[in-house]
Amino acid sequence: MELPWLQELVLIFLLSIGVTVACAKLKLPSTVAFLLTGVLCGPSLLGVVGDVAAVGHVAELGVAMLMFTIGIELSGDSLNRLKRPVFLGGGLQIALTVLALVGLVVVYGQSWQQGVLWGCLVALSSSAIVLRLLQERGLTSTPAGHLSLAILVFQDIMVAPMLLAVPLLAGKLELTLASAFTAVVQMGLMLGGVLLFARYGVNRLMEVVVRSRTREVLLLTTLGLCMGMALLTSSLGLSLSLGAFLAGLMLARSQYSMSVIAGILPYRDVFMSLFFISVGMMLDLKFCLSHFFPIAGLTILFILVKAALTLPSVLLQGYPLRASIITSLSLAQVGEFSFVLAASGLEAGLLQMYDYQTFLSMSIITMMLTPLMIGVAPRLGDLAAKFTGKHVVPEEERSATGHNLEDHLIIIGFGISGKHLAKAARESGIDYVILEMNPETVSRYAGKEPITHGDASQPVVLEHLGAGKARVLAIVISDPSAVRAITLEARRMNLSLHIVARTRFVTEIGPLRQLGADDVIAEEFESSIEVFSRVLTQYLVPSQDIDKFAAHFRQENYRTLRRISAVNPLDAVVGRLQDMGVQTIRVAPESSLCGLSLAESELRGKHGVTVVAVQRQGVVTASPGPETRFEADDVVYLFGKTDKLYAVRSLIAACPSERDETRVIGQASETA
């Protein structure tokens, strides 16, 4: 059985591996590596691929999947904020570019029809390259990222009218009022059906799919919705990527969006790689080298003119100069749909072969230069802001999509532990988000809690939850392998994140700490503590002694486990330091400390703990003096050894524990 296309595909992948590794050593982005791979595989060099057009058609799926993931990551608020940039910014950018190119072409001696075509060719930018690079650099959520996305979406919307305008400009198409009306009605009916499905059908469909608990069904549903919408918009004369983007927006309203995006990412990356390779194949290296200086000059002129024409469309919306410069340079390349438009112009006689080849060479070079332009754009923006005296603070580029939280709590798992933790965080005024894999739980608490369905072991899901800016991550699920994977990914994403993990067995504590967990709660060990506490309670052992036993066992056990998990002397030192801790306790009205000064309480000399701060009525006093007197409802911050902190709790809180109540009941029964 002969499969020539499979041989070509294998050669492409092998070449891409070598080129990507070489570019990585030169610190060049993978996008450039794939473009160079396409040049090597193309007809002008090795000629590995016979049918370049077929590879290009397959590669368009990567662009569609990229737009799908971009759409699914947009929240409702950010989408509403994008309305103005899409229509005002995108409309101004295309209008200014077309008008400027018409003037330049007419002055050069060509017709205004050719000027309109050149304006459309120049106006379009590459959604695939720009959005991929912005994602890699973490800039999709910045103002420049939002503006770039908005303008690119409007450009995709305008692809169909531009393609329709080519035969009209060439005088080869007669458009009647009846045919135009029919086309508008068909488009309206199809889009109306899509909106109805998005409002009433998507959530129900996804709930049924997720309840099946079958990853294959979820993935097939995701791909079906993505490609189905892409085909629908393609049948209307619009681009595939626009339909995929709309499908992503539909699913963004669902609480199962994170489960969807985690499954499609590997396929997106593979097809995106093929897209960049297919673009590189289009470069005619012989033509480019024989006309090197004209092409180089036109490329530089193109970048400067397009950036200058995009800048006003951003500034007129009220955005600062820095964000406007970054957006303008990010979009200063030719788009992938320009190739289709140029081929139509060549067929219609609006372009000559020399102009077509020059445009192709210039386009691919601008695409290759895009990583460099996006890299230097922030520096140029800073220089321009300083030159004009308009200083821009870095906080201006904070995220505006997903969970726009900072210093918040992330709860993985919404069982009993997760519910108790969420309730405690809510009553304490702590911002939190929840991730749960059980679809029934997500449906039950949707709208009541900030809960999302998804797999936290996927980096994109943790990023959506704001793990990079969170303070604490609490992993309260029962899957040991998932706990390890989540701990590893979260630690890679945020070195300062405090990770608290729950596990079943004591033997899991050491490995989890090595992966980056700060605190590991072993159910096996904590259950043993509770068992001996209940037993000692029945023998009427004083509660203070029971607390001391528990604190001592905890300290000795976790110290031993830390020593086992320590892999070098520095870890051992850190392990000893972690015998110390800080605890916050509220002074109860019946506490013996009420009315006493800090010196009279003898907390340091008698109990071995140090008061580092006292909070009273929302005001925190750090390092209180010895004359500071305790009052009811004061929040006391204590520092000391773990066992001392456990022992002093009953003195300050003065609340009878469950063991005290049990002992009182037991004594009453014996008396009776």
For residue range 454-475, list pLDDT tens digits in order.
778 778 788 888 888 899 999 9
Q: Could you give the CA distance from residue 321 to residue 329 in angstroms, rounded to a whole number? A: 12
CB 516 within 8 A of CB 491: yes
403-503 domain in CATH 3.90.870.10?
A: no
Phi, psi of 634 (to 5 degrees): -65, 140
Q: Please give the order of strands across the beta sheet that includes 609-616.
A: 580-586, 635-641, 609-616, 619-622
DSSP 8-state code for residue 541: -
How far is it, in rounded angstroms, from Cα 15 to Cα 21? 10
CATH topology of domain 57-171+199-208+221-256+296-394: Na+/H+ antiporter like fold (1.20.1530)
Closest CA to 658 of 577, 522, 550: 550
The confidence score (pLDDT) of residue 664 equals 33
The tokens for 334 are: 């030719």
Environment class of 622 (CB within 10 Å of its CB; exposed 0-12, middle 13-18, buried 19+): exposed
**pLDDT at residue 657 in the model:** 42
Q: Give the CATH class of 580-671.
A: alpha beta
Cα 163 to Cα 652: distance, rounded to the nearest angstrom? 77
Concatenating the DSSP letter of every residue in 46-64 gives: T---S-HHHHHHHHHHHHH
H/E stretch holding 581: strand 580-586
Could you give the CA distance from residue 245 to residue 227 in angstroms, rounded to a whole number? Answer: 10
Q: Are 439 and 252 in contact (CB under 8 A)?
A: no
- Residue 455 Ramachandran class (φ > 0 left, ψ -120 to 50 alpha, else beta): beta
Q: Indicate the pTM of the whole model.
A: 0.57
CATH 3.30.70.1450 residue ranges for the chain = 580-671
Q: Where in the chain do CATH 3.40.50.720 domains reside? A: 403-503
Q: What are phi and psi of 240, to 5 degrees?
A: -60, -40
pLDDT less than 70: residues of the chain: 1-5, 50-59, 73-81, 138, 141, 160, 172-176, 179-180, 183, 237-239, 258, 262, 389-404, 554-579, 654-672
pLDDT of residue 658: 40
CA gap 338, 344 in Å, rounded: 10
User: Residue 299: enclosing H or E segment and its boundaries?
Assistant: helix 292-315
Give the Cα separation of 455 and 461 in Å (integer).
7
